[in-house]
Amino acid sequence: MAIKLPVERFAGIRTPFYYYDTNILRQTLDAINQETKKHDNYFVHYAVKANANLKVLKVINEAGLGIDCVSGGEIEQVLKAGFPANKIVFAGVGKSDWEIELGLDKDIFCFNVESIPELEVINEIANRKGKTASVCFRINPNVGAHTHANITTGLAENKFGIAMEDMNHVIRLAQNMKNIRFRGLHFHIGSQILEMDDFIALAERINELQDQLDREGISLEIINVGGGLGVDYDHPQDNPIPNFKDYFDVYDKYLKLRPGQTVHFELGRAIVAQCGALITKVNYVKEAHVKKFVIVDAGFTDLIRPALYDAHHCTLNLTTTNTEEEIYDVVGPICESSDVFDKDLRLPKTQRGDLIAMLSAGAYGEIMASGYNCRRLPEGYVSEDL
């Protein structure tokens, strides 16, 4: 059940654009719900930073997931999509006052707080509004993740979270603040993680911290383990649904809970990556002395992952039936030499006008698009639109 790209329905649609196969998305959500329904205390909050397309959000909301936001804009967008405010967790190292006010006004489920100055500001604003803010602390667990350096977040050197040594102190501070309700701890070690050992290491670190808190007489209601489960970018057609069973089993097996605790997950990529493709048109095939270039009408303004993280997206020519193959560099039109999607890629002989699909682009694709070079932002369509 691979992603279906109905190329006959793509005719006449301005390229580049994103296409989301809602069938794959729904099956992915079902696979998650199959696992989480085994535990009445597991809650998945979709990390909307991965994709905030309203039509995609509506499908995710229908599946009953909660939501993880990192900005006031994201909170506004998910409310527009119909998510209930009491399922929103709100993270981020640099929340602005208006964003904190919005969270309080909407009575979101929880703020994931990353520093003492932020805690103080939330307490002050909540006090002014006569509200109590639910708070978890994001703790930096100093657990490495086997992933790209730009998307590992749980090391002591990263800017995220509060150091473990300071944990007891900040909790005590929070417990003494009038407008703060301390609820628990939040973690996130990185993204595109495929080695379950990394999540095991996080679970074991959380166990150590809980033992330490027990000795201090501090109890937690909420344990939020963040997101990070990766997807198979190399074989999206064979492997469109991530292995949620192994992922949730890790926490079931290794995380030691106290009675009444709830476990929260913030999955982004694993939910939306495989249902989305970037569809682009070949503008030119240029035969230079040492290389052949396929120059497409999408650039890194539409999909920045290859330029930013050396990411590879499986690339298909949707138009040709040519059996003859050539080796190409697939590049975009932006005036920067990093605007390269793939080097030395084997494709069927390609011509001007052919449609090209870049797969596994549903996460951190459309949402990271920019207007550099005054380019238009790509549209996003779901299966039902076309």
Least gap, CB of 194 to ligand LLP (angstroms): 11
47 vs 185 by CB, closer to ligand LLP: 47
Give burial (CB, 10 Å; 0-12/13-18/19+) of 152. buried
Nearest approach, Cβ of 351 to ligand LLP (angstroms)? 31
Quote the least distance from Cβ 108 to ligand LLP, whole Å: 15
Return the sign of the alpha-carbon dihedral for residues 49, 54, 59, 62.
positive
Nearer to ligand LLP, 104 or 151 (CB): 151
Of 295 and 303, which CB lies nearer to ligand LLP in the complex structure?
303
102 or 270, CB closer to ligand LLP? 270
- CB of 138 or CB of 281, closer to ligand LLP: 138
User: What residues contact residue 55 under an 8 Å CB cut-off, 6+ apart?
Assistant: 20, 380, 382, 384, 385
Min separation Cβ 147 and ligand LLP, Å: 8
Provide, rounded to whole angstroms, the least separation between the CB of residue 12 and ligand LLP.
30
Closest approach, Cβ 216 to ligand LLP, in A, equals 25
How far is Cα 292 from Cα 153, in angstroms, rounded to an integer?
38
Q: By C-beta, is 255 or 355 nearer to ligand LLP? A: 255
Task: Return the number of the residue (167 or 271) whose C-beta is nearest ligand LLP.
Answer: 271
- Which amino acid, 71? S
Closest distance between ligand LLP and the C-beta of residue 119, in Å?
17
Binding site for ligand LLP (CB under 6 A): 47, 49-50, 68, 91, 151, 153, 188, 191-192, 226-229, 266-270, 305, 309, 364
